[in-house]
Amino acid sequence: MGAERVDSADDERTANNAVRHQYRVLSEAEKVAMVELKDIGAGFVKAVDRVVPAGREAALARTKIEEAVMWAVKGLTG
């Protein structure tokens, strides 16, 4: 049985989150900004994967990019 997936910009995004049970409804502009932040992060991760040799440094870079995106989205949506 596959896990239910909900788009991060969807108003139903709490369906698969066991920790945060209440979210405020985002404006359309906030949804667009959140998707933009996530796209930028994904692009940066792809660039790291493309040009940085696999290893600890690349793994740390990926983790920090993911963390930066998380905090930026939290700041936007909090």
Q: What is the pLDDT of residue 37?
A: 98
Q: Are 26 and 74 in contact (CB under 8 A)?
A: no
Q: What residues have CB less than 8 Å from 9, skipping those under 6 apart?
A: 26, 31, 32, 34, 35
Tokens of 18: 């066991």
pLDDT greater than 90 at residue 59: yes
Q: Are 73 and 38 in contact (CB under 8 A)?
A: yes
Can you tell me the mean pLDDT for 44-67? 98
Q: Residue with structure tokens 């992060």?
A: 41
* Domain ranges, ordered by start, for the chain: 26-77
pLDDT digits (tens, 9 = 90+) for 9-52: 776 666 656 666 667 789 999 999 999 999 999 999 999 999 99
